[in-house]
Amino acid sequence: MSENSCNTKPTNDCEKCGQKMTNAICSTAPEVWKLLDQVKQKNIFKAHQVIFYQDNEPMGLYIISSGLVKLEVTSESGQNHTLRYLGPGSALGYRSLFAHEKYQASAIAIEKTEVCFIPKNTVMEIFQQYPTAALKILESLSKDLRLADEKWTSQMDKDASERIAEALIFLQDHFEHQNWTRKEIAEWAGTTPETVIRTLAQFEADGYIDQSQGRAIRLVNKQKLIEKLTLDR
């Protein structure tokens, strides 16, 4: 709990935060930082801990200071699907807040993750006062929506191995995290762990990746993998 001596108090300084310019809320204006410092609640979650649960009522939103979070839906049949991964600087839980709906997914820390919780009324006040903040969050919601639409269409247009290839590239491009499990890739790519394992074996045989060091997946020839994706079509 105290490995980071600067961040243990809930009222530490937004001005000193490395994420203060990475999202719509925190980058609004310097005068907002004082407000946020008063109301925000900083928390640390260990790997596999749940930040919020599907079907619960949102009471604010979270900003991720460090770490990695997945948004996971569990269907009635018990299958898990990963909607999005969120890294440092990202806002978390805002879709349900703005839609006035319950959380549609659970937010689970993949690795040790630090978040700032900002209460609902503070969030709304900021958007009332700073229209540019609203336009910025509109932008990121709009991009999320495009990614969600693409997820559905590629579920139909692309076969499992193409989706897995795209997952490898996307996850490597967007996150520091290295230790993706076959199950995590499957739940993100819309397939099963077995299919991921078989496909990775093929990718290794084709010289795209290397799996000889433990469970790690090293992209040996990312460029060739990208070309394969475009040439296939």
Partner DNA sequence: TTTTATATATGATCCGGGTCATATATCGAA
Partner DNA sequence: TTCGATATATGACCCGGATCATATATAAAA
55 sits near its own copies (criterion: CB under 8 A): no
Q: Does 120 bind its own copies (CB under 8 A)?
A: no
By CB under 7 A, tell whether 211 contacts DNA. yes
Q: Write each residue from 156 to 175 as x if it is in contact with DNA (CB under 7 A), else as -, in one continuous string.
A: ---xxx--------------
Compute the distance between CA of residue 44 and CA of residue 62 in angstroms, rounded to an integer: 12
Instruction: Tell me the window of 108-116, 128-136, 137-145, 179-187 that interacts with DNA (CB under 7 A).
Output: 179-187
Work out whether 141 is an interface residue with its own copies (CB under 8 A).
yes
Nearer to its own copies (CB atom), residue 3 or residue 173: 173
Given its own copies, DNA, none, residue 193, with its beta carbon under 5 to 8 Å by kind, binds DNA
Given its own copies, DNA, none, residue 47, with its beta carbon under 5 to 8 Å by kind, binds none
Angle at 173 between CA 69 and CA 217, to 5 degrees: 85
* Residue 195 binds to DNA (criterion: CB under 7 A): yes
Interface pick for its own copies out of 20, 40, 70, 95 (rule CB under 8 A): 95
Q: Does residue 182 bind DNA (CB under 7 A)? A: yes
Span of 51-59, 96-104, 166-174, 196-204 interacting with DNA by CB under 7 A: 196-204
CA-CA distance, 195 to 142, in Å (whole number)?
A: 32
